Structure 1
Amino acid sequence: MKKIGLLILLFAQLTLVTAQSNRSVYLFSYFKGNGEDGLHLAWSSDGLKWASLKNDSSFLKPTAGKDKLMRDPCVIRGADGLFHMVWTVSWSERTIGYASSKDLIHWSEQQNVPVMEHEPTAINCWAPEIFYDEASKQYMIYWATTIPGRFPKGDTASDKNHRIYYVTTKDFKTYSQAAVLYDQGFNVIDATIQMNGNQYVMFLKDETRYPPQKNLRTATSTTLTGGYSAPSKPITGNYWAEGPTVLKKGNQWIVYFDKYRDHKYGAVTSTDLVHWTEISDLLEMPKGIRHGTVVTITKQELDKLLKEK
């Protein structure tokens, strides 16, 4: 009986250790300055207080693109268990960067993906993000590009007519040709997409210049690659906001964003995606943090990152 009791105790301890190692924490990928030094990471257990990792030094130096920047890094966990990352390689190139990793420490060779090379007058490819679509078993990469004269002038000059474009891929080797994902007749950048039940929710920046909007809004669709609605009312306050990223905690949505004129980060929260509450004063973020994304990782994965110096 004593042996059985001891075995039960050992099993309980092992179960506790396993549960603790698999406990979820949150990881924030971001850049600093102009993105020249590469990928920065921070972590949080509650989604409000964030601490930088590796003394806030870079985990990955950029090599893709001519300008070799790593702005707006978006990291997701793929269906294959790998972390997949895309980023802005330049202010003015027609490509985006891509790399993958098993542990967020050791990364694959960086690719310079020519998503808009077939559009010779395209000015840029900004803030790419990735979404894995369970239904089609493929990844969608989407970003903002301006093509002068492509859309009616509207509220802005013809060389500032950003729309959201996308490509799909199953292997990050071959890609579909870029197509428009979101066009509601206004200048739009910084889109990020989340699932809400059977609905796709796009969080986006209204980049309207006259009169200036510079706020975040939402749009919805029943399909991933199109059919998104007109934008909602602004979900952010009386300040300029950009670079949204979203964390879902239970029934609570938290949208983080860069208050870029104020040189600090902000956040709003909601339980219904309609009524939003400002919680910016509750945030503690690394100094100098810029546009990035949130992904959930295990405590075991975090422990490995904490050992990096």
Structure 2
Amino acid sequence: MLMGFAAMLMVACKSSKSIYVFSSFHEPADEGLRFLYSKDAWHWTDLNHIYLKPLVGDAKIMRDPSITQGPDATFHLVWTTNWKNDQGIGHASSKDLVHWSEEEHINVMGYEPTTKNAWAPELFYDDEAGQYIIVWASCIPGRFPKGQEDEDNNHRLYYTATKDFKTFSPTKLFLDPGFSVIDAEIIKRGKGDYVLVMKDNTRPNRNILVAFAESPLGPYHDYTKRFTEMYSEGPSAIKAGNDWLIYYDSYRLKRYGAMRTTDFKTFTDVSDSVKVPEGHKHGTIFKVTPKILDGLKKAAGQ
């Protein structure tokens, strides 16, 4: 019987003693793609090297770099190309995280001319449907009811899907939870068991919560309480042993925080037990082989 992509990836990770890699950028986001790495997902080392400089979008910046690896072993990267007045996202691909394809600017919200932005695109490979799902936050002023936030900061989540990054499904609304929401990441725990980690961007909340679904495209339900301190964003989750770790940028405290959970219902603050290099900003965590890490180190002169 043929083994599914997720199972093959799990076997490969176990057999090769895979390394955790955290995509990263530094403010003011004009330098480009950085990486951290870890053997235990708790203690991170900065490779201190720029692996891809941003070349697309009017602002020529790279924020919120999200990376996932497809069944052909290709890594795909998407990122935020501007704070505002930009209706697209960046994309590039690589086999080794060192040598990258030509960068592209994908105009995901061009069909809505009043859209203010396209923030924090997150990649998820749906191994059951055989497609990549890209989820991001956009603000279309006047489209949805709002709370205390300004009309230009009232976000909802949108998505498109692709099998090859050449053709894309029409952009659709992914999530309207009844409040301004950004920074969403889809997690698959098992067949028919998905978790969405996101930031409630309303005032005065601005903190992290999760919801659940039977499909990666939802509908999502059973929203949890907000479980991080106020002024936290950019959640990135990874399974480490029996635990899930949810990293997030606690920007008011000027540090990276982390929550540990086994069921996404009860959360324990382990921020004092993790080590994240200073300057690291919102990315995603994924696994690579030692060979990939060796290549990253070599490119960084290490």
Aligned to 1:34: 28
User: Conserved in 1, the CA contact under 8 Å of 2:13 and 2:287?
Assistant: no
Aligned amino acid, residue 29 of structure 2: G
SS in 1 for 2:284: strand
TM-score with structure 2 setting the length: 0.92
Is residue 151 of structure 1 aligned with residue 164 of structure 2?
no
TM-score with structure 1 setting the length: 0.90
Aligned to 1:300: 291
User: Conserved in 2, the CA contact under 8 Å of 1:38 and 1:61?
Assistant: yes
1:87 CA drift (Å): 0.3
Aligned to 2:122: 129
Is residue 243 of structure 1 aligned with residue 237 of structure 2?
no
Instruction: Pick the aligned partner of 1:95 from 85, 88, 91.
Output: 88
Aligned to 2:194: 200
Aligned to 1:141: 134
Aligned amino acid, residue 111 of structure 1: E
Structure 1 unpaired stretches of 5+: 1-17
CA distance in 2, matches of 1:245, 1:110: 24
Instruction: Pick the aligned partner of 1:184 from 177, 183, 197.
Output: 177
Instruction: Pick the aligned partner of 1:23 from 17, 26, 29.
Output: 17
Cα shift readout 1:176-227 (whole Å, capped 9, x = no counterpart): 1111111011010000010122211000000111xx1111000111122231
Aligned to 1:224: 216
User: Conserved in 2, the CA contact under 8 Å of 1:153 and 1:161?
Assistant: yes
SS in 2 for 1:307: helix
SS in 1 for 2:111: coil
SS in 2 for 1:272: coil
User: Conserved in 2, the CA contact under 8 Å of 1:21 and 1:298?
Assistant: no
SS in 1 for 2:259: strand
CA distance in 2, matches of 1:65, 1:234: 34
Aligned amino acid, residue 271 of structure 2: S
Is residue 269 of structure 1 aligned with residue 260 of structure 2?
yes
Q: 1:19 to 1:224 in 2, by over 3 A?
A: closer
SS in 1 for 2:153: coil
1:163 CA drift (Å): 0.4
Aligned to 2:77: 85
Aligned to 1:169: 162
Instruction: Pick the aligned partner of 1:70 from 62, 67, 92.
Output: 62
Aligned to 1:3: none
Aligned CA RMSD, in angstroms, stands at 1.6
Aligned amino acid, residue 233 of structure 1: K
Structure 2 unpaired stretches of 5+: 1-11
CA distance in 1, matches of 2:217, 2:149: 26
Aligned to 1:289: 280
Aligned amino acid, residue 91 of structure 2: Y
CA distance in 2, matches of 1:111, 1:157: 31
1:155 CA drift (Å): 4.1
Instruction: Pick the aligned partner of 1:60 from 52, 55, 63.
Output: 52
User: Conserved in 2, the CA contact under 8 Å of 1:63 and 1:110?
Assistant: yes
Aligned amino acid, residue 283 of structure 1: V
1:158 CA drift (Å): 2.6
CA distance in 2, matches of 1:80, 1:48: 29
SS in 1 for 2:295: helix
User: Conserved in 2, the CA contact under 8 Å of 1:243 and 1:258?
Assistant: yes
1:230 CA drift (Å): 5.0
1:19 CA drift (Å): 10
Structure ID, larger Rg: 1
CA distance in 1, matches of 2:223, 2:15: 41
User: Conserved in 1, the CA contact under 8 Å of 2:160 and 2:170?
Assistant: yes
CA distance in 1, matches of 2:135, 2:193: 18
CA distance in 2, matches of 1:48, 1:160: 33
Give the total of aligned pairs. 287
Aligned to 2:206: 214
Cα shift readout 1:257-283 (whole Å, capped 9, x = no counterpart): 101112210100011111111111112
User: Conserved in 2, the CA contact under 8 Å of 1:152 and 1:158?
Assistant: no
